[in-house]
A and B are shown apart, each in its own frame.
Chain A
Amino acid sequence: MIYPLLWMVASSFKPNALIFRDPSLIPSELDLTNYTAGWTALTHPFTHYLMNSFVIVAGAVLGNLVSCSMAAYAFARLNFRGRKLWFAVMLMSIMLPIHVVIVPQYILFSQLDWINTYLPLVVPKLLATDAFFIFLMVQFFRGIPRDLTEAAHIDGAGHGRIFLQIMLPLSTPALATTAIFTFIWTWNDFFSQLIFLTDPEMYTVPVALRTFVDSTSDSSWGSLMAMSVVSLVPIFLLFLFGQRYLVRGIATTGLK
């Protein structure tokens, strides 16, 4: 299963001539030239693209945590007018293919002069457009005993305090799952970053890698492999440390 991934890591340490002749997983010598060459092969050093990706990911994670948990609190705990209807609307929006809205979104963002900025990739998250996470948190919030919030209510706490001081602290697994998945999906997201970022200065890791593919001759496949490996390291680390939450989050909700 992970042989292809291991082969990629192994290849990234091999001199170019060996990659295509030697399928073994243990490189005969540890050659770092692919990494040093790949790091500076594009217009900007690879650190630049990593930083761009991290900025977008940080904005997206923060946005999703704040806006989706707020909406989820309303759906899980407030008895407001039209709740069932809006809940159904929220569920339907999960199923909507991005392709249906991407053209008008592009037009909207270009009229706001937001193309080649990170705003089209971050602002929608602040507006809870990843409804999937609202649903995930609603399911979680519903499991928190009502006695707790009702007791606080009798003691005079308003919804703001109940949300901040009771619900959120008790919801770390759901918040962690949201953060981890937002991180991974945003880090991997290629389609919208390809569309909204056209200036090499603003490129994120996936878009930069893709230009690398197009400009790469066979002789620098090693560098491309090395940078591909670099691009996977953050996800791999997150997976390693967040596994516990991930499996629980997936088991209860079934997401990709």
Chain B
Amino acid sequence: MQRTKAARTRTSPAEQGDNRAALVFLAPWFVGLALITVGPITASLYLSFTDYSLLDAPEWTGLDNYIAMANDPRLFTSLRVTFTYVFVSVPLQLAAALGLALFLDRGLRGLPIYRSVFYLPSLLGASVAVAILWRRIFGNAGLINQLLGMIGFENAPGWIAHPDYALGTLIVFNVWTFGSPMVIFLAGLRQIPNDLYEASAIDGAGKLRQFRSVTIPLLTPIIFFNLVLQIIFAFQAFTQAFVVSGGTGGPIDSTLFYTLYLYEEGFANLHMGYASAMAWLLLVIIAALTAVNFFASKYWVFYND
């Protein structure tokens, strides 16, 4: 017994070589992990319990930041704005992506130009330039109102300047960039074996029945993947709201995204401690939602293995 155990734990020369080589190949990553990721995470947790303006040393204040957050009406506004944005735009975006993917998969196979047309907005959508474009399209004298004017609707509101509609335009913006989930859906659709459709057709299933009983169940892992990723991305949205609202989250905080408020507190007001506490709440929210997603997936995601 003793001997076999010793033999098992002793490393062979090849394994030793691998250990040494791994240290070399992973050296940059290890340094980055320590200095740029784990160190800052730890520091951020510490700072979230302090009052820190960057100019003086951080001063330990215990739970003060978290208590202040619980009593901060703007924080709750930003949470409401962000949750509305995520829970309205992500389902719409995925529905659009799936719809178009089904259409492209059946009707227009092998026409990359169509794929590009739908994908391009996603690539450009994160840029300041396209956020500027959005501001112009939904502005007072913008494209939307010109088009509305042409079909007889005068006196349309200045969408981005109106607190009731500003967030809506940003939701439309996010839905418009559905190209990335669409490409992933397309890849998933290609992997569904054709014989399943043929077999179900022989059993007398119509197109709608096939969609419900073959396509959707086999696509659930991809739907789940897209859902998890897009929720995580949507919570971190910043550029759109920053540019469209001119950095203020206005009108009257109707587009005050959580990240925008975090930026304002940390880098404009130099409340670094408060901003750190906000960052930790964001991390907890994203982690919790991802966990809920994974838990719920047991009931609706179908793995074919």
Interface residues of A (CB under 8 A from B): 1-2, 4-5, 7-8, 11, 20-21, 23, 66-67, 70-71, 73-74, 78-81, 83, 86, 89-90, 93, 95-108, 110, 124, 126-129, 131, 134, 158-159, 163, 184-185, 187-188, 190-191, 194-195, 205-206, 209-210, 213-214, 221, 224-225, 228-229, 231-232, 235-236, 239, 243, 247, 250-252, 254-256
- Minimum CB–CB distance from A86 to chain B (whole Å) comes to 7
Determine if A78 and B44 form an interchain contact, defined as CB atoms under 8 angstroms apart. no
- B252 interface contact, C-beta 8 A: no
Residues on the A chain within 8 Å of B120, using CB? 1-2, 5, 236, 239
Residues on the B chain within 8 Å of A98, using CB? 236
Known: A23-B143, A127-B28, A228-B133. A105 touches B40 (CB 8 A): yes
Determine if B36 and A101 form an interchain contact, defined as CB atoms under 8 angstroms apart. yes
Known: A2-B121, A103-B279. A97 touches B235 (CB 8 A): yes
Known: A71-B26, A97-B283, A100-B279. A243 touches B132 (CB 8 A): no
| Cα distance A190–B263 in the bound complex, in angstroms | 12
| Cα distance A20–B153 in the bound complex, in angstroms | 16
Residues on the A chain within 8 Å of B15, using CB? 79-81
| Cα distance A30–B44 in the bound complex, in angstroms | 53
| Cα distance A80–B21 in the bound complex, in angstroms | 8
Residues on the B chain within 8 Å of A21, using CB? 146
Determine if A101 and B26 form an interchain contact, defined as CB atoms under 8 angstroms apart. no
| Cα distance A74–B22 in the bound complex, in angstroms | 5
In the complex formed, the residue of A with least CB distance to B273 is A103
Determine if B123 and A73 form an interchain contact, defined as CB atoms under 8 angstroms apart. no
Determine if B32 and A67 form an interchain contact, defined as CB atoms under 8 angstroms apart. yes
- Minimum CB–CB distance from A69 to chain B (whole Å) comes to 9
Considering only residues 209-238 of chain B, those with a C-beta below 8 Å from chain A are 225-226, 229, 232-233, 235-236, 238
- Minimum CB–CB distance from B117 to chain A (whole Å) comes to 5
Known: A103-B266, A255-B180. A213 touches B25 (CB 8 A): no
- Minimum CB–CB distance from A153 to chain B (whole Å) comes to 9
- B275 interface contact, C-beta 8 A: yes
| Cα distance A210–B117 in the bound complex, in angstroms | 26
Among A2, A74, A103, the residue within 8 A (CB) of B275 is: A103
Determine if A206 and B36 form an interchain contact, defined as CB atoms under 8 angstroms apart. no
- B167 interface contact, C-beta 8 A: no
Determine if B121 and A5 form an interchain contact, defined as CB atoms under 8 angstroms apart. yes
In the complex formed, the residue of A with least CB distance to B15 is A79
In the complex formed, the residue of B with least CB distance to A248 is B187
Among A74, A97, A158, the residue within 8 A (CB) of B282 is: A97
Determine if B19 and A81 form an interchain contact, defined as CB atoms under 8 angstroms apart. yes
- Minimum CB–CB distance from B23 to chain A (whole Å) comes to 8
Determine if B36 and A124 form an interchain contact, defined as CB atoms under 8 angstroms apart. yes
Determine if B40 and A108 form an interchain contact, defined as CB atoms under 8 angstroms apart. yes
| Cα distance A129–B116 in the bound complex, in angstroms | 29
Residues on the A chain within 8 Å of B232, using CB? 95, 97
Known: A210-B128, A228-B132, A247-B183. A100 touches B32 (CB 8 A): no
| Cα distance A8–B142 in the bound complex, in angstroms | 11
Residues on the A chain within 8 Å of B147, using CB? 23
Determine if B183 and A224 form an interchain contact, defined as CB atoms under 8 angstroms apart. no
- Minimum CB–CB distance from B274 to chain A (whole Å) comes to 10
